[in-house]
Amino acid sequence: MDPASVISAALGVAALCAALLHCGLHQLSGRGREHFWLAVAALGVVQLSVGYSMAYAAESVEEAHYAQTLCLVCCTPLLIGFLRFTALFTGRRLLWIEIPAGVSALVATGITLVAPGLMFGEQLVEARVEWLGHRHVGTEMTILAGVSFVPFFIAFAVVVGIFWIDRRLFLYPRIMVASALLWMGTALSDTLVGFGVYSAPYLLVAGYLVFLMAFTVELVRRYVDSLDRLEESAEELQHVVDERTAALREKDLQVAHGSRMATLGTLAAGLAEEIQEPLGEVMRRIDDVALHFAEPDATAMLDERIGEARRGIERIREIVSRLLHVARQEGGEFGRVDLNRVVEELLLIVRHEARDRARLTTELGEIPEVEGDERLLGQILLNLVLNALHSVPVGREDENQVTVSTGIRDDRVQLIVRDTGNGIPEELRAHVFEPFFTTREPGEGMGLGLPVTRQLVEQHRGSIELSSDERGTTFRVELPALDPSPGSAS
């Protein structure tokens, strides 16, 4: 095969690869119809390259006619595909040029296939490609063939004009307009070569590939810009998400604080009684000190009474301090928390609530620390214990029991609160975590304790489960353990 045919075939392979590429892009995007029509134009260029290769190898009138027919027929997909691509890419309605140009191309194709003698002469004409040292033969093209190319060049001129008018649509407008002009110039050159005006290689396939390269540069730049915009949008979205998350956390803390204050309101009367006992003890010891102050051997007795008064004041201070810690509104920082210590400290302010209701016991196992807000973890325990105490009838302290236990299972720390009440009816269990749902009498509860509890548990990446029957109710809270012991179980 001569060099001219090889070069033409190689350019055709490149055009075929381009057609497959744009077909793939069309399939991947599902919307990029401009890729589909550019692939149609590319297939026309592939057909043209085949015709050029055959024209370079033609040695008879029949072979020349066949090659020229193939070249002329390819103009239909090339013209229609390129016009449709331009219309879609620029967003313009080009039916006023697409319809007449397409009809003209189809008529020329039909005449060529049915009566090729009207398009091509019978006399052989020698053509040369000097820089390749190549000679081949062809036939002269008729005036009708020349007329059939007029719509093709008019459409090319319209496309170049549209590219120039809509140059703001392109990131590289000069490159796009120049490549379209180059492609138009190669088409004109090939037409003149076909009419025997002068001798030169066929260049339209190369012109198309140049245009395709320019369009590819445009697409790649748009893709890079879209990635930059996407990254900026992602950063803005992340900023909005952070702001909304902070706002939601603040709202959650406000709701939790409201629930906590309502819980402390129910504890107020019992706490007053809890403080009254050590306060009365302190007053009695002060009275003893005043009564025996003048006695000569009162030193030992005074030391004993002062020590008892000091212990009573320390007990009051501890109760008040713990109460203020629970009531504090501002959110604490997440850190390492010893859940057993939280249990021991919180039970100090709820033991009075258990009087005349149930025996309050603990079963604390050896557990690793958890990550969380100590104050919020304390509220989880407080809500569950008070819920358990209020589920048992008053006046049966010896019969009822509320047990708080801790343990570890599958690398998760467990906090379990059990009561020996009457249990929760099955039809109500699905509603206990719903806001404002309560089975207590009006005015005795808002129905926020358990919903807030679940919300706080989920904030600590934990879970809460409920099980209940006629023997009582159990709430099981599981939290991720820090540095869990391998193989540990509850």
Q: Which residue has the tokens 């066929």?
A: 202
Q: Strand, coil or helix: what is 294?
A: coil
**pLDDT (average), residues 472-482:** 91
Dist CA 449 CA 452 (whole Å) = 5
Q: Write the DSSP string, 369-416.
A: -EEE-HHHHHHHHHHHHHHHHTTS-TT-TTT-EEEEEEEEETTEEEEE
Highest mean pLDDT among 151-155, 365-369, 469-473: 365-369
Which residue would you say has higher pLDDT here, 124 or 413? 413
Give 261-300 pLDDT, tens digit per residue.
Answer: 555 555 555 555 556 566 666 666 666 666 665 565 666 6
Locate the domains of the chain by residue range: 3-202, 339-490
CA distance 445 to 451: 13
Average pLDDT over residues 309-324: 65
**What tokens were used for 104?**
């003209």
Q: What is the dihedral of CA 170, 173, 175, 177, to 10 degrees?
A: 110
Under DSSP, the state recorded for 440 is S
Of 233-247, 353-367, 404-418, 439-453, the range with the highest mean pLDDT is 404-418
Cβ burial, residue 184 (10 Å; 0-12/13-18/19+) = buried
Non-local (6+) Cβ contacts of 285 within 8 A are 305, 306, 308, 309, 312
Q: Which of 52-56, 179-183, 241-245, 262-266 has the lowest mean pLDDT?
A: 262-266
In sequence order, the 6+-apart residues with CB closer than 8 A to the CB of 410 are 489
The mean of the pLDDT values for the chain is 79
388 and 473 in contact (C-beta within 8 Å)?
yes
CB-based contacts of 213, cutoff 8 Å, min separation 6: 179
How many helices (DSSP H) and strands (DSSP E) are in the chain?
15, 9
Q: What is the three-class DSSP state of 472?
A: strand
Whether the per-residue pLDDT at 15 is higher than 90: the answer is: no
- CB within 8 Å of 456: residues ≥ 6 apart: 256, 376, 377, 379, 380
Q: How far apart are CA 351 and CA 389, in angstroms?
A: 10
In terms of residues, how long is the chain?
Answer: 490
Nearest-angstrom CA–CA distance, 379 and 27: 56
pTM here is: 0.50
Amino acid identity of residue 289, one-letter, is V
Asked whether 165 and 94 are in contact (CB, 8 A), the reply is: no
Which helix (H) or strand (E) segment holds residue 469: the answer is strand 463-469
Q: In 207-247, where do the E strands start and end?
A: none
Q: Which CATH superfamily is 339-490 part of?
A: Histidine kinase-like ATPase, C-terminal domain (3.30.565.10)
**pLDDT confidence bin for 340, thresholds 50/70/90:** very high
Residue 489: the pLDDT is 46
Residue of higher predicted confidence among 267 and 13: 13
